[in-house]
């Protein structure tokens, strides 16, 4: 049990280095990730705070869990929760993902949530739809708050470039498990049709170098065919820096997120921060985060129809495009989210202390 202390709670976000944790931490303060034995400096995974041995010596009041626990078993997470209880440390869980986008629907992630969500002292999430699902599945009421802005403050005010070509932007990266290659192929067909009809259009497709190697676990030969299409602006490279990524999204007119499954999307928030129109698959609840165009992944024609509609609206009806929130509004929203987290962490610390001194932990 930790000694009583006044002042703001000491909160260990997992992972603390993730941009989301830095955004929601009150006053921007983040208790740093502990070093990972044998890993390069700055690598936070596998996170030491997920080990009961770390909990036993941790000088924190609350652990706030976000990402990076999918490598653990349900039994390991139960032992971890018991260690938190034994040492009087509160637990907050933000349900970013109901299905892990890197693994898939049948990867055991649900078993982990079924340990963590019932055990948490507080649960938060980003959309009403996710909150309703959390209530239905685990009987927990989740605090719902907006996703804070993702890009650095200066980028919130960066002017969007003016160009004659209407650009659809897609970042396939290394083809994580949720990426829908057939939907990408249909998007390429839609752009090709617009180009044949005389439109100044382009599909800007970013791909990491590794996924084009046949030895890559998610190598898909259809991707190279799409990259070689004449209307595709193919960009093959290592992972981009934040600044390079934000400059790219600032430049595209429509950011396409072709996902087969998922729950929420930081990528959608980046596009929103930078004033790009978005088109997202109607899976999960990303479409509830911000105003966005959607398509039905079960329909072979839906993504094509929506791309053609977005192009038409761009040319004829500027009012259909999303309004980019001014930087002051976006910053104020982030500060509201930080204040909410400060209150929540303080409440969880107080509850954990009561339970610990009452002998229930």
Give the C-alpha distances (Å, rounded to integers) separating 334 from 87, 250, 330. 32, 20, 6
- Structure pTM? 0.94
Which long-range contacts (C-beta less than 8 Å, at least 24 apart) are formed by 1-5? 1/87, 1/88, 1/356, 1/357, 1/361, 2/59, 2/60, 2/61, 2/87, 2/88, 2/89, 4/353, 5/61
**Of 245, 289, 300, which is closest to residue 263 (Cα–Cα)?**
289
Please give the Cα distance from 268 to 183 (Å, whole number). Answer: 17
**Polymer length of the chain:** 361
pLDDT per residue over 256-298, tens digit each? 999 999 999 999 999 999 999 999 999 999 999 999 999 999 9
Strand order of the sheet with strand 201-208? 232-237, 201-208, 166-173, 254-257, 277-281, 293-295
Low-confidence stretches of the chain (pLDDT beneath 50): 1, 3, 360-361
Query: What domains does the chain contain, in order, with CATH numbers?
Result: 11-144+333-357 (3.40.50), 153-320 (3.40.50.2000)
The reported pLDDT for the residue numbered 317 is 75
CA distances from 128 to 99, 285, 296 (A): 16, 8, 20
Residue 3: the pLDDT is: 47
What is the distance, to the nearest Å, from the Cα of residue 181 to the centroid of all Cα atoms in its chain?
20
Pairing between β-strand 90-94 and β-strand 62-65 as defined by DSSP bridges: parallel
pLDDT score recorded for residue 82: 97
pLDDT at 6: 65
Q: Give the pLDDT confidence score for residue 360 in this predicted structure.
A: 46
Count the alpha carbons within 13 Å of 177 in the hemisphere toward its beta carbon: 11
Q: What is the pLDDT of residues 313-329, one digit of tens each?
A: 998 876 666 678 899 99
């Amino acid at each position: 049990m930790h000694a009583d202390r006044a002042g703001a709670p000491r909160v260990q976000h997992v992972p603390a280095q993730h941009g989301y944790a830095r955004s929601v931490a009150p006053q921007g303060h983040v208790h740093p990730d502990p070093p990972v034995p044998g890993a390069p400096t700055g690598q936070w995974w596998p996170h030491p705070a997920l080990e009961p041995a770390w909990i036993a010596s941790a000088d924190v009041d609350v652990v706030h869990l976000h990402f990076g626990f999918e490598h653990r078993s349900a039994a390991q997470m139960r032992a971890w929760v018991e260690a938190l209880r034994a040492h009087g440390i509160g637990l907050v869980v933000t349900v970013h993902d109901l299905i892990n986008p890197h693994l898939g629907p049948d990867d055991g992630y649900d078993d982990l949530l079924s340990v963590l969500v019932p055990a948490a002292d507080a649960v938060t999430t980003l959309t009403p739809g996710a909150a309703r699902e959390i209530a239905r599945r685990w009987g927990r009421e989740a605090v719902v708050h907006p996703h804070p802005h993702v890009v650095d403050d200066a980028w919130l005010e960066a002017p969007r470039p003016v160009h004659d070509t209407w650009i659809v932007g897609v970042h396939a990266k290394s083809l994580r498990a949720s990426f829908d290659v057939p939907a990408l192929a249909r998007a390429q067909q839609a752009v090709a049709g617009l180009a044949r009809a005389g439109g100044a259009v382009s599909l800007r497709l970013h791909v990491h170098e590794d996924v084009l190697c046949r030895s890559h676990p998610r190598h898909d030969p259809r991707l190279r065919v799409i990259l070689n299409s004449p209307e595709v602006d193919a960009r093959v490279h290592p992972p981009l820096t934040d600044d390079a990524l934000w400059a790219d999204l600032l430049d595209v007119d429509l950011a396409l997120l072709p996902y087969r499954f998922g729950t929420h999307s930081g990528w959608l928030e980046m596009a929103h921060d930078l004033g790009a129109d978005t088109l997202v698959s109607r899976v999960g609840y990303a479409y509830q985060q911000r105003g966005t165009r959607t398509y039905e992944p079960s329909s072979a024609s839906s993504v094509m129809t929506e791309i053609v509609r977005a192009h038409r609206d761009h040319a004829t009806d500027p009012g259909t495009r999303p309004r980019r929130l001014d930087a002051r509004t976006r910053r104020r929203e982030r500060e509201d989210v930080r204040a909410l987290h400060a209150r929540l962490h303080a409440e969880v610390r107080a509850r954990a202390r009561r339970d610990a001194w009452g002998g229930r932990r």
